[in-house]
Structure 1
């Protein structure tokens, strides 16, 4: 997706939002959040959503493995700001999900960063995708935040 369209994202483009209070240690020597923290936050909001919707990281028969990640940065954020991590699913495959995470600063207009994160769901015992795809609980949970305008194109 082109940077211009990502940069125009608003909070209303995302059906799930989680707040995160930045920490002093999130800042780097340039006094803004270090780029590695963005990926940690993207991973955290995705897993928070999955856990809230039935995934038990220790026991679920299927679990996600990160396959790919990328980030487009549009503005910095730094401690003591509160980040709003906004989540949606852009594509839902047989055994995979492509998430989009928008990072906003609370009470500030405009998006700070957009990340894309791809999970492949694998069986706990084999470490491979199930031939039948992801289980119905995972699929139904992810369909709740699947972008409606993209549903017909998948």
Structure 2
């Protein structure tokens, strides 16, 4: 098993600024590992909500996380400004694999990277549903995978 290396900024398609909070630091003076998963969730769902792809309050489709991972490369800490980078690594019939990188503001390589898999389901029945056409199109626009692959 090879050791992961941090992605460069150019691997991600969209970025959003993130404000760190005092409570994000742990006793060792850096962001606690569990905070990164929350940041991943914020980056992905921020993109989805801002682009009108999901409505968490009254939409008929929701994404459930079925897998997640994170690799850590450099510490970040409050009050440091950071940014979350997002790309799509795979689009299935009802699932999407997101790649997320957390960067120091203007940092060239990810301080942490990973991602998760969303399976999109009917909000009422919780059964998988095919991705709506508008969602599929928006996700393809930030995909890291050439179309037809």
Q: TM-score, normalised to structure 1's length?
A: 0.89
| Counterpart-to-counterpart distance in 1, 2:137 and 2:118 | 15
More helix by share: 1
> Structure 2: how far apart are the matches of 1:88 and 1:120?
16
> What is the DSSP-based 3-state SS (H/G/I as helix, E as strand, rest coil) of the residue aligned with 1:59?
coil
Q: CA RMSD in A?
A: 1.6
Runs (5+) with no aligned partner, structure 2: none
How big is each residue's C-alpha offset from its partner over 1:43-101, in whole Å with a ceiling of 9 and x where there is no partner? 01100000011111112211100111000111110011111100000000000000000
Deviation at 1:11, TM superposition (A): 1.5
Moved over 3 A (4+): 1-4
Render the CA deviation track for 1:87-145: whole Å, top value 9, x for unaligned. 00000000000000011101334220111210000011210102xx1111221221111
In structure 2, what is the Cα distance between the partners aligned to 1:92 and 1:59? 24
Q: Which residue of 2 aligns with 1:35?
A: 33
Aligned residue for 1:111, secondary structure, equals coil
Cα deviation digits, residues 3-28 of structure 1 (max 9, x gap): 44x41x22121111011121111100
Where does the alignment leave 5 or more consecutive residues of structure 1 unmatched?
none
CA contact (8 A) 1:50 1:141 kept: no
Alignment partner of 1:116 is 2:115: yes
Match of 2:134 in 1: 137
Distance 1:111 1:67 in 2: 23
For normalisation by structure 2, the TM-score amounts to 0.92
User: Offset of 1:152 from its aligned partner?
Assistant: 3.6
